Amino acid sequence: MAQEKRRLRAVMRERCLEVGAVSAQQAAEAVARHLAASAAYQMARRIVLYAEVPGEVPVAPLAARAEADGLPRLWPRQRADGALDVVVCAGIQELAPGPHGVREPGPEREPAVLGAGDLLLVPGLAFDAEGGRLGRGRGAWDRTLADAAGAVAVGIGYEFQVVARVPREAHDRSLAALVTERGFRRSQPT
């Protein structure tokens, strides 16, 4: 299982890094449109965004849409135990590089408690139709999703990141849906 995950991570990381800036921006704008049209977004009381790393779908159009719609924006911050806290911040400009180089809110801000009505946008390297997600291997999002009872987790990625089956272990958490540049689709667990 670990070897299968490593192989898929390497392939997808390389493909994601090949996406040009114009294509990435076009995909991000399409993802924002598809997400905003979904019931999951329309029912959300808050939205958890992410500060993208190279190769991930840019978050700016999603953040701008949430701001325009008056949704409070929360951003993840790495905890010492490897999970993520989420913190209210107006925008990505308020974030600074954290321990792994990912932009995050500063330690002076109090974390929020996730629950019903929260919409979590979760990046990844690969996704499948059953709600499977392959992350970067640290398990931060899986630990966070395990503690987010009632929140709705939606994967954000490019269409080419959708695979037939993501290798999964017992600790891997499922996503309720996935949004790519081609549309919003609910997961179909088997």
pLDDT tens figures, 66-93: 999 999 999 999 888 888 899 999 888 8
Given a cut of 70, is residue 190 above it in pLDDT? no
Output the average pLDDT for the chain: 91
Q: What confidence score (pLDDT) does residue 167 get?
A: 83
Domains of the chain and any CATH numbers = 2-186 (3.40.50.10420)
- Of residues 160 and 188, more confidence is placed in 160
Q: What percent of the chain is modeled with pLDDT above 90?
A: 64
User: How far is CA 85 from each of CA 47, 95, 115, rounded to the nearest angstrom?
Assistant: 14, 14, 13
Claim: this prediction has a pTM higher than 0.85: yes
CB neighbours of 72 closer than 8 A, spacing ≥ 6?
45, 46, 47, 88
